[in-house]
């Protein structure tokens, strides 16, 4: 996956589509959350514990006023209410899919912790979070740039 293109609506749509024998990427955010919106999603830490990654994506997907920031001009935008995010590891799927070798089972952690850097997520980072929330360790992820792992605080897991 080319993460620099992941900020483009056309690329997100293309990644959802089955290609050859590979299923599409399991993004859960609807088109209305990434088409001409959410180029930058502010991080406003209102929760000081590690929130489950699916709950974070559900929060962004939610259209209720409680999941929005209101700017001084009255406009409402999506935001991320936490910096530390917990990504549970499905060990059985990770081994079955070849992400981790059976011999390394004892080295696996139960949860990967993301630590968001900066004041906002770019759209490509938001979509990567969405993918991580829903891929359930069923297939390896290959990315063209590792910088995105730095902004999500994942370098320790590479």
pLDDT at 144: 78
User: Does the structure show a pLDDT above 80 at 151?
Assistant: yes
The helix (H) or strand (E) run that includes residue 134 is helix 123-134
- Please say whether the beta carbons of 29 and 57 come within 8 A: yes
- Render pLDDT for 89-130 as a digit per residue (tens, 0 to 9): 999 999 999 999 999 999 999 999 999 999 999 999 999 999
pLDDT of residue 113: 96
CA distance 60 to 123: 12
Number of domains comprising the chain: 1
Categorize the per-residue pLDDT at 87 as very low, low, confident or very high, splitting at 50, 70 and 90.
Answer: very high
Structural domain including 107 reads: 5-157
Query: What pLDDT digit, counting tens, does each position of 37-55 carry?
Result: 899 999 999 999 999 999 9
Q: Single out the residue of 18, 89, 85, 94 nearest to residue 58, CA to CA.
A: 85
Average pLDDT taken over every residue of the chain = 93
């Amino acid at each position: 996956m080319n993460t620099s293109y992941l900020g483009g609506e056309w690329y997100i749509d293309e990644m959802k589509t089955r290609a050859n024998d590979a299923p599409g990427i399991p993004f859960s955010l609807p088109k209305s959350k990434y088409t001409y919106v959410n180029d930058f999603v502010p991080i406003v830490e209102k929760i000081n514990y590690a929130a489950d990654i699916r709950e974070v994506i559900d929060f962004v997907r939610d259209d209720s006023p409680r999941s929005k920031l209101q700017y001084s001009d009255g406009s409402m935008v999506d935001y991320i209410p936490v910096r530390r995010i917990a990504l549970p590891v499905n060990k059985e799927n990770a081994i079955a899919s070849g992400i981790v070798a059976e011999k390394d089972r004892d080295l696996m952690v139960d949860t990967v912790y993301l630590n968001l850097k900066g004041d906002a997520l770019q759209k490509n980072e938001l979509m990567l979070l969405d993918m991580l929330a829903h891929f359930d360790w069923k297939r390896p992820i290959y990315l063209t740039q590792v910088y995105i792992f730095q902004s999500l605080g994942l370098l320790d897991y590479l």
